[in-house]
Amino acid sequence: MVKVAANRRIKLTVQNLDGTPEEFESHALRREKLIPGGATAVIYIGPLKPGRYEFMGEFNPATAKGVVVAE
């Protein structure tokens, strides 16, 4: 879980520690980004209304998942 301030634009840094590519995907955040193996990506989100916004790794949705909570 990542907690962020509501009503502000956020810079989210995502590291893919695996050796294979992964796709950051969130319908709630309306973001999708391919991240090569071993790479880091920056994803800008928001401003977000207070709430929970789920995200996942599209290639490994059972294990690569989380939530952004805007407060």
Q: What is the mean pLDDT of residues 52-64?
A: 93
- Name the CATH superfamily for 2-70: Cupredoxins -  blue copper proteins (2.60.40.420)
Residue 63 predicted with pLDDT over 90: no
Q: What is the mean pLDDT of residues 54-67?
A: 93
Measured in residues, the chain has a length of 71
Q: How many CA atoms lie within 13 A of 44 on its CB side?
A: 3
Domain ranges, ordered by start, for the chain: 2-70
Going by C-alpha positions, the residue among 50, 45, 63 that lies closest to residue 9 is 45
pTM (2 decimals)?
Answer: 0.88
- Give residue-wise pLDDT tens across range 9-56: 999 999 999 999 999 999 999 999 999 999 999 999 999 999 999 999
